[in-house]
């Protein structure tokens, strides 16, 4: 396990009165990369340890808008675990979640799953390709894309866990 670069304090602020929130943790992830293996195991492990975790069970397969219930769940969560995988930035829904998570300024634990944190921060490799695609799709809404870029850069600079191809998923759960 490796740690990424230092945290930005405005993302990692603890939440006063978090005990009143509905969820302890919001899980943000790209379903095609992680849903059936990693996220399922992580979710079950968190619940087995008494952690109230929210995950999007159905995924967002159709339509163009993020489900309002997901944004509400982010608002109602004390913290977020963001599983940043190779295809994370290709999803505008994931980026909307990420921007909302940063907007809430609550505790964030990024997990760099099979990606390099510097690629996340600098938006290189699959992150560069994802943002290029969004710039074309949302060419009349560039402020939205810039908001996503800023959120990705911010989270890429937060100390988190790095798991590459040499780590197995069960080992990942132990560290979380």
Residue 68 has a pLDDT of 83
pTM: 0.80
Does 115 or 8 have the greater pLDDT score? 115
Topology given in CATH for the domain delimited by 2-175: Rossmann fold (3.40.50)
CB 148 within 8 A of CB 130: no
Domain boundaries, the chain: 2-175
CA distance 69 to 123: 28
- For residue 134, pLDDT over 70 is answered with yes
**What pLDDT, on the 0 to 100 scale, is given for residue 60?**
45
Per-residue model confidence (pLDDT) at position 176: 55
H or E stretch covering 153: helix 142-156
Residue 149's pLDDT band, with cuts at 50, 70 and 90, is: very high
Residue 158 burial by Cβ neighbours in a 10 Å radius (0-12, 13-18, 19+): buried
- Catalytic residue chosen out of the listed positions 97, 103, 128, 146: 97
Q: Give catalytic status of residue 97 as yes or no.
A: yes
Classified as helix, coil or strand, 158 is coil
pLDDT digits over 10-62, tens only?
455 555 554 579 999 999 999 887 877 788 888 988 999 899 999 987 444 44
């Amino acid at each position: 396990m490796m740690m990424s670069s230092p945290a930005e304090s405005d993302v990692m602020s603890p939440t006063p009165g978090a005990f009143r929130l509905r969820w302890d943790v919001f899980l943000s992830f790209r379903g095609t990369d992680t849903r059936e293996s990693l996220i399922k195991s992580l979710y079950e492990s968190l619940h087995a340890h008494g952690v109230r975790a929210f995950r999007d069970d159905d995924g967002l397969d159709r339509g163009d808008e993020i489900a309002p219930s997901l944004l509400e769940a982010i608002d109602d969560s004390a913290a977020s675990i963001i599983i940043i995988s190779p295809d994370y930035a290709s999803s505008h829904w994931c980026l909307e979640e990420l921007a909302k998570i940063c907007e809430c300024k609550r505790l964030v634990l990024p997990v760099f799953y099979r990606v390099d944190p510097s690629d996340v921060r600098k938006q290189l490799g699959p992150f560069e390709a994802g943002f290029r695609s969004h710039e074309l799709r949302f060419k009349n809404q560039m402020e939205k894309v810039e908001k996503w870029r800023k959120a990705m850069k911010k989270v890429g600079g937060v100390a988190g866990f790095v798991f590459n191809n040499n780590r197995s998923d069960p080992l990942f759960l132990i560290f979380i």
